[in-house]
Structure 1
Amino acid sequence: MEVTLHFAIKLDNGDVVDSTFDKKAATFRVGDGNLLPGFEGVLYGLKAGDKRVFAIEPEHGFGQHNPQNIQVMPRGSFQDMELSEGLLIIFNDAANAELPGVIKQVDDTHVTVDFNHPLAGKPLAFEVEIISVKAVA
């Protein structure tokens, strides 16, 4: 199945994290991995024209915040870099895959980096408007 939809992901306070309502609608194939399973799963049974808002708990969204994903590194590992709290840095893991981390704390000797997804641990609202649903070969 190929689904075309508008969507918005919102925080509890109503702040919009991402939305296609003011842009081109998004299209994905069911099961292609473009949507997290918790987001894709709530769409089953919807048809063109349906509009819904779903509550997505952290375990069905971006996961719970994991304290083990916070790392403290020597300040010397960041030679010639201007560091500040909230700065997003892309690291390479052992398999050379890109891994984003957010600077949480900086001092003269250490840098604390949070590798959790920024939406980890947050309940979300997933607003959808289904534009079309098509069978694909």
Structure 2
Amino acid sequence: MDELSIGPGTRVSLNFALTLEDGSEIDNNFGSDPVSFVFGDGNVLAGFEQKLVGLVAGDTKEIAVNPEDGFGQPNPNNIQEVKRSSFGPEELSLGLVCSFADAEGGELPGVIVGLDEQTVTVDFNHPLAGRTVIFKVAIHSVAVEEVH
């Protein structure tokens, strides 16, 4: 019997390392328990998921995901100016990540990219927007996902 390969209707368990093209590491769960996801459930980047298709338990692979298939390109409309008075007395600095409420009441992180006495410029683009990311994966298991 052939080994089950990654594709629609499967649950995948894997370890991964996420780096940028320059080798700087963003995340790594090697040495920890593997993570699992159901193929197509939207919990992983579609561009990453598609490059896993056909892999089986025991496979390792390095996968480059370009911005269009990953975190997208930066959108200039996602850079907003906010009144300095909206922040209260806290100390602000370039690169500081702040949390804002979105229209649905969820949490939206933004990075301060500029500030003066009157305004704070906040970038709401994903921090990895515009970047090619490299995933190194080790597939632990591929199973049929039971529909509930």
Distance in 1 separating the partners of 2:58 and 2:26:
23
Q: Does 1:119 align with 2:128?
A: yes
Aligned to 1:49: 58
1:81 corresponding residue in structure 2:
90
Question: Which residue number corresponds to residue 33 of structure 2?
Answer: 24
**Percent sequence identity over matched residues?**
50
Q: CA-atom RMSD, angstroms?
A: 0.9
AA aligned to 2:13 is T
Alignment of 1:1-137 (within 5 A): 1-137=10-146
Q: CA deviation at 1:46?
A: 0.2
TM-score by structure 2 length? 0.89
1:75-114, Cα deviation, whole Å (9 max, x unpaired): 1111222111111111001221111001111111110000
Q: For this pair of structures, how many residues does the alignment match? A: 137
Structure 2 counterpart of 1:113, one-letter code: V
Whichever residue aligns with residue 87 of structure 1, its letter is: L
Cα distance, 1:3 vs structure 2: 0.5
Partners in 1 of 2:28 and 2:43 — Cα distance?
15
Letter paired with 2:95:
G
Structure 2: runs of 5+ lacking an equivalent: 1-9
SS in 2 for 1:14: coil
Cα distance in 1 between the residues matched to 2:13 and 2:64? 20
Structure 1 portions without partners, runs of 5+: none
